[in-house]
């Protein structure tokens, strides 16, 4: 046992003296987490810049009986309201073509084009067209901006359509009550009343809250930094494990491994020592990153027992995978190249770079194909306040992966170093 520890300690010390390895294991995850944190506003939440919208109001207005003036201007007014200033930034354009050009030139994410007959159709004054439409011309690569613009315009239109519905309903009621000749007048009054009442805006509100745990306590909001650093940590633990496992090949070439085999220490102890080296190094790496996350990014990782369990299982997965890969390749250079490729694919599939997938989607299923996907979901749950009982599967499934990795690695090493 002490000889296994002696080997593990030697390798750990070696890693601490290896600058590229330290950069990979410690600096890279923290630096990338900082970079991505900076991406998302550097704060605790995903905040995005206001969408730029170009608007062209060609509405000629409708003046006369029951008309309010320029309905198009009302819509523009809604868009420019102070409540929305963090969400959209509106710029006026003289024509539809100019507004669309703003989108084409990349200066706006969307353009809102209000047609000339808008007020006319809305007020019923125009007999030419029964319906009208406001065009939202979007840049398809800016889906979010487009969706936001559609939503805002839709809300504004709802106001008009609602007033119209009030008018229609009042007209119908009047007719049913035998008051048909006052139908038009009552319709306009109903529409006016609807608008005075604040329209749909006063109708329904939606408040958001975090889900509650079985005990009744609310789950915590996980900051962006926590999710990102967890993903980076697991990804770079793969590399950390790879670096140490690689030394098995390096030592084989350098002659120190065969020399170890000429000592009275049995081969299984020697290989066991190398396996332990990988595991121990990765645990130390994880602990440093967890502490770093706590103090540099103020991440609250959650309950200690759950965090410890996740860390141990993550270390087992990383070590097992690295040892498996090493047992399959021949040269240290291959180990570096193949390892990087495999880890990248696993990370892309498991969501290390992108965070939790949308529920029910294909991506959520794909993430479950990877051990790191399960682990990351576990970290997320624990950061939201969960405990060991909530992450049982997130511990057991990756552990099974690790066991299989280790088993195959042991078989191959035995064959190689018989």
Partner 1 sequence: MKRIWTLASKDLLETRRDRLALLFTVIMPLAFTTFFGLMFGGGSDRLPLAIVNADSGAPAMQLVSALAQSGVVKTEAMTIAAAEKAVDDNKVAAALEIPAGFSAALAAGRPAALTMVSVAGSTGAQTVQTEVMALAGRLAAGERAAQAAVAVAGTPPGSDPAVGEQALKDAALLMARPLAAQSLAHPVATVKVVQAGMAAGQIPTGFVLSSPGMLVNFILFSLLTAGIALIQERRNFTLLRLMTTRVRRWELIAGKAVGMFALTFVQQIILMGAGQLLFGVDYLRDPAALLLMMVALSLFASTLGLLLAAVLTSEQAMVATTVIVSMSVAALSGAWFPLEITGPAFQAVGHLLPTAWILDGLRGIIVRGFGVADVLPAFGVALAWSTALFVLAVWRFRLSD
Partner 2 sequence: MSIVEVQELRKQYDPPKGVLAVDGVSFDIAKGEIFSLLGPNGAGKSTTISMLSCLLHPSGGDALVDGHSVVTDAQAVKEAIGVVPQDIALYPDMSARENLIFWGKMYGLAGEALKTRVNEVLELITLVDRQKDRVEKFSGGMKRRVNIGVALLHKPKVLYLDEPTVGIDPQSRRSILDGILALRDQGMTILYTTHYMAEAQELSDRIGIVDHGKMIAVGTNDELVKIVGEEARVELNVDHSLEGMVERWAEVQGVTKAMIDEDRAVLLVQDANEVLPRLFETAAAAGSRITEASVTEPNLEMVFLHLTGRALRE
Other CB atoms closer than 10 Å to residue 418's CB: what's the count? 6
From residue 173 to residue 192, what is the string marking binding to partner 1 with x (rule CB under 8 A)?
xx-xxxx--x---x--xxx-
Q: How far is the CB of 104 from partner 1 (least distance, A)?
A: 6
Among 1, 2, 17, 20, interactor with partner 1 by CB under 8 A: 20
Q: How far is the CB of 23 from partner 2 (least distance, A)?
A: 16
| Mode of pairing for the β-strands spanning 110-114 and 51-57 | parallel
Span from 83-91, 211-219, 271-279, 398-406 in contact with partner 1 (CB under 8 A):
211-219
According to the binding rule CB under 8 A, does residue 390 interact with partner 1?
yes
Q: How far is the CB of 211 from partner 1 (least distance, A)?
A: 4
Q: Would you state the structure tokens that stand for residue 371, as one six-digit string?
A: 């051990």
**153/314 with CB nearer partner 1:** 153
Which of partner 1, partner 2, none binds 14 (CB below 5-8 Å, type-dependent)?
partner 2
Among 79, 136, 282, 316, interactor with partner 1 by CB under 8 A: 136
According to the binding rule CB under 8 A, does residue 353 interact with partner 1?
yes
How far apart are alpha carbons 154 and 105 in whole angstroms? 25
Which of partner 2, partner 1, none binds 366 (CB below 5-8 Å, type-dependent)?
partner 1
According to the binding rule CB under 8 A, does residue 211 interact with partner 1?
yes
Q: How far is the CB of 18 from partner 2 (least distance, A)?
A: 7
Other CB atoms closer than 10 Å to residue 132's CB: what's the count? 19
Cβ-based burial of 170 (10 A; exposed 0-12, middle 13-18, buried ≥19):
buried
Which of partner 1, partner 2, none binds 92 (CB below 5-8 Å, type-dependent)?
none
Which of partner 2, partner 1, none binds 6 (CB below 5-8 Å, type-dependent)?
partner 2
**258/341 with CB nearer partner 2:** 258
Do the beta carbons of residue 111 and residue 103 sit within 8 Å?
Answer: yes
Binders of partner 1 among 253-312, rule CB under 8 A?
none
236-237-240 Cα angle (round to 5)? 90
Q: Would you state the structure tokens that stand for residue 56, as one six-digit string?
A: 């062209």
Q: H or E segment at 52?
A: strand 51-57
Taking CA atoms, 12 is separated from 69, 247, 305, 323, in Å, by: 78, 11, 25, 16
Q: How far is the CB of 352 from partner 2 (least distance, A)?
A: 31
Give residues in contact with partner 2 (CB under 8 A): 2-3, 6, 10, 13-14, 17-18, 254-256, 258-266, 270
Please name the residues in contact with 330: beta carbons below 8 A apart, sequence gap of 6 or more: 249
According to the binding rule CB under 8 A, does residue 97 interact with partner 1?
no
**157/265 with CB nearer partner 1:** 157
Angle at which helix 304-328 crosses helix 371-383, to 10 degrees, equals 170
Q: Residues binding partner 1: what is the number (CB under 8 A)?
A: 132
Task: Return the closest-CA partner of residue 324 out of 253, 404, 415, 396.
Answer: 404
* Strands (E) located in 322-368: none
Helix (H, G, I), strand (E, B), or coil: what is residue 90?
A: strand
């Amino acid at each position: 046992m002490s000889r296994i520890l002696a080997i593990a300690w030697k390798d750990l010390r070696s890693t601490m003296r290896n600058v590229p390895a330290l950069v990979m294991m410690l600096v890279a995850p923290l630096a990338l987490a900082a970079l991505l944190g900076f991406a998302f506003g550097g704060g605790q939440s995903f905040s995005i810049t206001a969408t730029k919208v170009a608007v062209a109001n060609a509405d000629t207005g409708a003046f006369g009986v029951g008309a309010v003036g320029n309905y198009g201007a009302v819509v523009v007014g809604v868009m420019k309201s102070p409540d929305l200033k963090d969400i959209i930034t509106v710029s006026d354009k003289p024509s539809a073509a100019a507004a669309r050009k703003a989108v084409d030139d990349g200066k706006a994410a969307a353009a809102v084009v209000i047609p000339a007959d808008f007020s006319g159709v809305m007020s019923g004054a125009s007999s030419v067209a029964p319906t009208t439409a406001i065009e939202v011309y979007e840049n398809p690569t800016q889906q979010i901006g487009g969706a936001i613009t559609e939503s805002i315009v839709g809300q504004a239109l709802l106001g008009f359509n609602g007033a119209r519905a009030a008018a229609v309903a009042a007209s119908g009621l009047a007719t049913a009550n035998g008051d048909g000749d006052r139908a038009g007048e009552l319709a306009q009054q109903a529409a006016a009343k609807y608008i005075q009442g604040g329209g749909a805006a006063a109708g329904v509100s939606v408040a958001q809250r975090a889900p509650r745990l079985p005990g009744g306590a609310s789950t915590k909001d996980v900051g962006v930094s926590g999710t990102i650093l967890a993903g980076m940590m697991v990804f770079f633990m793969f590399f950390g494990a790879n670096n140490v496992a690689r030394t098995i090949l390096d030592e084989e070439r350098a002659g120190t491994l065969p020399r170890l085999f000429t000592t009275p220490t049995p081969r299984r102890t020697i290989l066991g020592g190398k396996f332990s080296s990988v595991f121990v190094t990765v645990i130390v790496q994880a602990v440093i990153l967890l502490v770093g996350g706590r103090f540099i990014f103020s991440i609250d990782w959650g309950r200690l027992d759950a965090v410890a369990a996740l860390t141990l299982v993550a270390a087992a997965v990383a070590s097992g995978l690295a040892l498996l890969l090493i047992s399959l390749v021949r040269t240290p250079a291959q180990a570096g190249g193949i390892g990087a490729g495999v880890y990248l694919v696993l990370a892309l599939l498991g969501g290390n770079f992108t965070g939790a997938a949308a529920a029910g989607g294909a991506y959520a299923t794909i993430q479950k194909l990877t051990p790191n996907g399960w682990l990351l979901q576990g970290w997320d749950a624990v950061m939201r306040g969960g405990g060991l009982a909530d992450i049982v599967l997130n511990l057991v499934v990756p552990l099974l992966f690790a066991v299989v990795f280790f088993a195959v690695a042991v078989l191959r090493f035995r064959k190689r170093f018989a």
